[in-house]
Amino acid sequence: MKWEYVTVEFVATGFERPEVNEDYRGTMNRFGAEGWELVSAVTYHSPTAEGDAVILFFKRPA
């Protein structure tokens, strides 16, 4: 089977705030509704975000 992949990056601050957390869930739900499966998430220090960032990795059949 062939796959296609997409990544989504978020600034990792604000997870504790409900409105920010809802943005993350909304994004994941939107990708899920389009057939994307979340396969991994990585946190790293991003100089452009001036803090930590999270990259979500999704895949779906091509």
The pLDDT of residue 51: 81
Q: What are phi and psi of 49, to 5 degrees?
A: -90, -5
Q: Is the pLDDT of residue 54 over 70?
A: yes
pLDDT digits (tens, 9 = 90+) for 10-53: 887 766 777 766 778 888 999 999 999 999 999 998 888 778 88
| Tokens linked to 62 | 């091509």
d(CA 57, CA 7): 5
Query: 45, 55 in Cβ contact below 8 A?
Result: no
The pLDDT of residue 31: 96
The pLDDT of residue 15: 65
Length of the chain equals 62
Name the residue ranges covered by the structural domains of the chain: 3-61
